[in-house]
Amino acid sequence: MKNSIGNVPGLAVIMVGQGRDSQTYVRKKLGACEEAGIQSKISTLPDNCTEDQVLNALSCFHEDPSIHGILVQLPLPQHLDEGKILNSVQLEKDVDGFHPINMGNLAMWGREPLFLPCTPKGCIELLIRSGVEISGKKAVVIGRSNIVGLPTSLLLQRHHAIVSVVHAFTRNPEQITREADIVVAAAGVPNLVRGSWLKPGAVVLDVGTNPVKDPSCEYGHRLIGDVCYEEASRVASAITPVPGGVGPVTVAMLLLNTLESAKRAYNFT
C-alpha cells in the first residue's frame, strides 16, 4: 500500500488510566503496528478524566483521515459509561467490532458486519488454520460477554457448529462441556476447566488471562488461563497456551481489521 499509493493504515488507541495490564496490552499492540508498517497514535487520559474528555479524543480521531481504526482500551474506570463510549466510535473505524450495529449484523443471517471482534475472529482463524473441522461439530463457549463469549458463539454458528453457551447459571457445566468437540473458555475464572471436563480429543481455545501472585516473576504475578493446562493437555488433541496462544492472534486480527478499513477508505485492492 505504501509503495502503490504512498499511504499506510493508521490505528489510534485511547487509554484511560495507568493500569499495568492495559499498558502491557497497548504496548504490544503498538509494537505490532510498528512491525507491520501501520501508523499508530495514542491518546492517554488520566483515571479521573471526564466522559467528555474521552469523547473529545474520539472526535479528534474520527476527523483524522490518516486514522482508519480506533481502539478504546478496556476496561474503563467505573465512573465512565463504557456502553456510551463504545457506541460513539465511528462505525467505519470500529476495528474492535464492538459497535451495536456491527454486533447486530453479526447476529443476523444474510448480513455482514464491517468488522468482526478481534478475539472471536482470532479463535476461528486458529481453528481454520489448524485444520479443525467446525461444520456440524459440537462447540461449547464458556462465558457470554459482549467482547468474547457472545460473538464467538455467533461466529461458530456462522461456520455451522452446534453451539452451547455455558455461564454462571448453567446447571451441570461439566457434563455439557464434556460433550463438546470444540471448547472456547472465556469466563475469566482461573483453572475453571479441568481435564475431567473435556472429551478425549477435544480442541480447546483458552481465552482467559488471569493474573495470579508469583513472587518469582518480574511483576510479582504471572498469567494463567481459564483452563488447567496440565490436566487439559493430557486429554485434548490441541490446546492454546496462556500466555502466547489466543492473545497474539487477537492482535493480528486487530491489525487485519485496520488494514481492511484503510483499503476501504483508499479504495485500494
User: Can 39 be counted among the known catalytic residues?
Assistant: no
Q: Compute the distance between CA of residue 251 and CA of residue 27 in angstroms, rounded to an integer.
A: 11
Asked, as a colleague might, if the bond just before 215 is cis with ω within 30 of 0, I would say: no
**Annotated active-site residue in 39, 93, 94, 96:** 96
**Annotated active-site residue in 73, 93, 137, 226:** 73
User: Can 29 be counted among the known catalytic residues?
Assistant: yes
How distant, in Å, are the alpha carbons of 49, 91, 252 from that of 123?
34, 23, 11
User: Can 78 be counted among the known catalytic residues?
Assistant: no
Q: Compute the distance between CA of residue 102 and CA of residue 113 in angstroms, rounded to an integer.
A: 5
- Contact criterion met (CB below 8 Å) for 72 and 96: yes
DSSP-assigned letter for residue 47: T
112: its cell numbers = 455482514
264: its cell numbers = 476501504
Q: Which residue has the cell 452451547?
A: 164
DSSP-assigned letter for residue 53: H
Strands (E), 30-68: 39-45
The catalytic site residues sit at: 29, 73, 96
